[in-house]
Structure 1
Amino acid sequence: MIVNFENVSKKIGSNYILENINFDIKKGHVFALLGPNGAGKTTTLRLITGLLSATNGEVKVFGKKISSNKNNKIRQNIGIQNDCSLYEKLTVNQNLKFWGKLYGIDSNKIKDKINELTNIFKMNNKLNSKVSTLSKGMKQKVLIMRAIMHEPRLLILDEPTSGLDPQMIEDVISYLDVLVKKFNTSILMATHQLQGLEDFVDDIAIINSGKLMLNGNAKKLINNRWKNYVYEIDSDHNDIALNICLKYGNSYIKNGKLLTECIKRNEISNISKALFDYGLNIYGIVEHKHTIKDMYFETIKGEMNEYSYKNYI
């Protein structure tokens, strides 16, 4: 395991910031740490980097327990992107060179790496610009570039897509995917950006008020939570279509959309035939794929109780 939390608690004063947290980050996996503001995400990241020590339990990184005499060696293999300030009076090139030297990278390799990253992040024309002149989105690019200069074994990302336009978000995710596949890099990503995570993330942990609410492989968690297939049906008379669908199983109208559940995927064929036979105009039948976003809101708002996912679709 790249990271292991075993019964970890962190107490500041009389308050527990984290309480009895357990999770693992596997080599070559992308792990998303999710939770609202104040949930304990930043504290978790600081425990991994050794900036904080656990009150109880054990934190291991690369198989070694975090301690003062090992932190520097551990940090050499970690890349961190967060809101820590860049050197505003230096150029992008100077910032990246400085961090490359801090990590002990050879000068020629630093130059090659900067060229590679500026091409990927489309920052070639900003290489000699002072950081103070950059937009928020451009600064975010530089922070990510800085974090991966030394090709770390573990990359920690704190809201990596903040301030980026949709195209740049796609470019960043594509590059991170290359890091995972080419270098077997493990990525820990703390984010509020939930849309499309299932296309990139392997495992998730959801924390709220310092407590771990859900943890595991994202696809397995989603499939275990929602075993039925759900279809959205677009017809000219939803009220009539609903009565027909109810004969086959659980169906309902939510936000003006008709949704019907099927235990088996091919059951939708019988439903669609019944709708056509009745004479309804059917404009489309689309399978509703549940997502990490669905799982997040189900967990945070419903706490896995009687509230159904249909409350949050």
Structure 2
Amino acid sequence: MNSPDQTLAATGLTKHFGSREAVSDLSFEVRAGRAFGLLGPNGTGKTTTVRLLTGLLTPTRGSVTLFGQTLGRSNADALRARVGVQTDTRLYENLSVRDNLRTWGELYGLAPRVIERRIGEILELLGLADRVGSPAGELSKGMRQKLSVGRAVLHEPDLLFLDEPTAGLDPEASIELIDHVKDMIKTLRTTVVICTHQLHGLETLCDDVGILKSGRLVVTGEVRTLLHQRWPEQRYLLEVDGDPASARDVIASALGRAVEFSTVEGRLSFALRKEETISSGVAALVHSRIQVRAVIPRRPTIQDLYFATINDGSAA
């Protein structure tokens, strides 16, 4: 049974191109007002998955549910009207930036006054206001990317697919785009699926992630849960004056067990069990007259999870 707030669900989704299996047995769901990161290296099946989820490709096996309805030929157009998709930068080369957006607004069925309002908002947001009259064919790669994203969000969709949306953008523009997506989630309860292998900025955006490897979904779930499952201990970086080896011995003695240490840029890196606290280690260092310069908690990130999963294929 579908969850009442479920926007999107894939069940056993599989696609063959001849003898090649592009994606295999994908099953996951995305709830309304949440951001799902579909992550994986290039060529691992992300774009194929988006095309299956939007009905542009027919699955070999499995099914897709959008807004509580099983996606099929009879309802695909109606369901897609509530969806925004940015998968490439193919634009109307001879039309201006404004006319590209205006044309898509008309295709979305927006009223003229809404189209003009949204065009102004998007051009300002994406830093394209000064290129409003330029033909799309004259834009740089980064500007084309911005325009393709603007086209996808023009009608303020209920479900938004972004495929490598920050490719070609400078860091400032990438941050602004991520902030706009977060604002859409907050104010419009937009559901977002972002497909990428560029992981910067995902920490503050994604509630859930799925990681593809060779067309298979090897990890999926809530970010916080996945990180805790993989790294249940709390890891710290410790910087002291003097010999780090002495600090290492003091901490191990205070904890009463062997502690696995490593060195990161002259700092000691180590993990504590759930029931242990860093304060006992710091107190022992002070008692031993070892001056503590910094204690820095190291929290695992989506990037850590991604590379660990790609390297070993599991979250265990």
Structure 1 residue 227: Cα displacement: 1.4
- Contact 2:11/2:64, CA 8 A, preserved across alignment: yes
What's 1:279 paired with? Answer: 289
Change (3 A) 1:198 1:63: same
What's 2:260 paired with? Answer: 251
Structure 1 residue 91: Cα displacement: 1.1
- Contact 1:205/1:215, CA 8 A, preserved across alignment: yes
Q: Please identify, of 185-194 and 223-232, the stretch whose mean Cα deviation from structure 2 is larger.
A: 223-232
- Contact 1:245/1:251, CA 8 A, preserved across alignment: no
Structure 1 residue 184: Cα displacement: 0.9
Q: What is the one-letter code of the residue matched to 1:33?
A: L
- Contact 1:198/1:219, CA 8 A, preserved across alignment: no
TM-score normalized with structure 1 length: 0.93
| Structure 1 residue 260 corresponds to structure 2 residue 270 | yes
Where do 1:86-125 residues align within 5 Å? Answer: 86-125=91-130
* Structure 2: distance between partners of 1:10 and 1:136: 31
| Structure 1 residue 53 corresponds to structure 2 residue 58 | yes
Q: Which residue of 68, 75, 94 corresponds with 2:73?
A: 68
What's 1:290 paired with? Answer: 300
* Structure 2: distance between partners of 1:192 and 1:18: 17
- Provide structure 2 residue ranges, at least 5 long, that are not aligned to the other structure: 1-5
Question: Alpha-carbon deviations, 1:20-43, whole Å to 9, x = none?
Answer: 111001111100001112211111
Structure 1 residue 103: Cα displacement: 0.7
- Contact 1:242/1:251, CA 8 A, preserved across alignment: no
Q: Which residue of 207, 210, 215 corresponds with 2:212?
A: 207
- Contact 2:226/2:315, CA 8 A, preserved across alignment: no
SS in 1 for 2:262: strand
Q: What is the one-letter code of the residue matched to 2:313?
A: E
TM-score normalized with structure 2 length: 0.92
Structure 1 residue 212: Cα displacement: 1.2
Q: What is the one-letter code of the residue matched to 1:244?
A: V
- Contact 1:41/1:190, CA 8 A, preserved across alignment: yes
Question: Alpha-carbon deviations, 1:186-218, whole Å to 9, x = none?
Answer: 000001121331211111011111111011111
* Structure 2: distance between partners of 1:19 and 1:240: 52
* Structure 2: distance between partners of 1:144 and 1:304: 32
* Structure 1: distance between partners of 2:135 and 2:180: 25
What's 2:172 paired with? Answer: 167
Where do 1:223-238 residues align within 5 Å? Answer: 223-236=228-241, 237-238=243-244
SS in 2 for 1:2: strand
- Contact 2:89/2:144, CA 8 A, preserved across alignment: no
- Contact 1:251/1:258, CA 8 A, preserved across alignment: no
Structure 1 residue 175: Cα displacement: 0.9
What's 2:33 paired with? Answer: 28
- Contact 1:27/1:186, CA 8 A, preserved across alignment: yes
- Contact 2:159/2:192, CA 8 A, preserved across alignment: yes
What's the C-alpha RMSD, in Å, of the aligned pairs?
Answer: 1.7
* Structure 2: distance between partners of 1:229 and 1:197: 21
| Structure 1 residue 222 corresponds to structure 2 residue 227 | yes
Q: Please identify, of 57-66 and 143-152, the stretch whose mean Cα deviation from structure 2 is larger.
A: 57-66
- Contact 2:210/2:220, CA 8 A, preserved across alignment: yes
Where do 1:116-195 residues align within 5 Å? Answer: 116-195=121-200
Structure 1 residue 149: Cα displacement: 0.7
Q: Please identify, of 171-180 and 127-136, the stretch whose mean Cα deviation from structure 2 is larger.
A: 127-136
Q: What is the one-letter code of the residue matched to 1:293?
A: Q
Give the 4+ runs in structure 1 shifted more than 6 A.
none
* Structure 2: distance between partners of 1:23 and 1:55: 17
